Amino acid sequence: MKKIPSEPRQPNSFFQSVYEVVRLIPRGRVTSYGAIARFLGSGKSARMVGWAMNASFTEIPHVPAQRVVNSAGLLSGKFHFGPGDEMKNLLEAEGVVIENDTVRDYSVVFWDPAELLNEI
């Protein structure tokens, strides 16, 4: 098997799995890094999810990274969206209310990837 030039990452990397899950987050809902990591089987690798998001900006299709917050509902990644409160702006555009950089009614708008099994 030859190595693939211009494509340093493996298609089935941990990152790719994270991207898929994040893209499944319904509009107007949010989830946490830990929930994603746990859904993927690595419950303790929540930090890796964040790291994956860091590389998600160059990914196609677009990954709605703004729908991923930390366990407290805090927009911990807002500084990675560029200047200003772009992350907050995107979330509010989807109907998510942000109060003091934190998702209001977090337990309500929270979406667990496990709900995918519920839709079936």
Partner DNA sequence: ACTTTGACTATAA
Partner DNA sequence: GTTATAGCCAAAG
Residues in contact with DNA by CB under 7 A are: 9, 13-15, 32-35, 42, 44-51, 53-57, 65-66, 68, 70-72, 76-77, 80-81
Least distance in Å: CB of 16 to DNA?
A: 9
Q: Which two tokens stand for residue 119?
A: 């839709």
Query: Which C-beta is closer to DNA: that of 83 or that of 120?
Result: 83
Instruction: Please say whether the beta carbons of 25 and 31 come within 8 A.
Output: yes
Q: Which residue has the tokens 């337990």?
A: 107
Least distance in Å: CB of 34 to DNA?
A: 3
Query: Which C-beta is closer to DNA: that of 50 or that of 113?
Result: 50
Distances (CA, A) of 62 to 19, 22, 24, 52, 67: 9, 10, 12, 13, 12
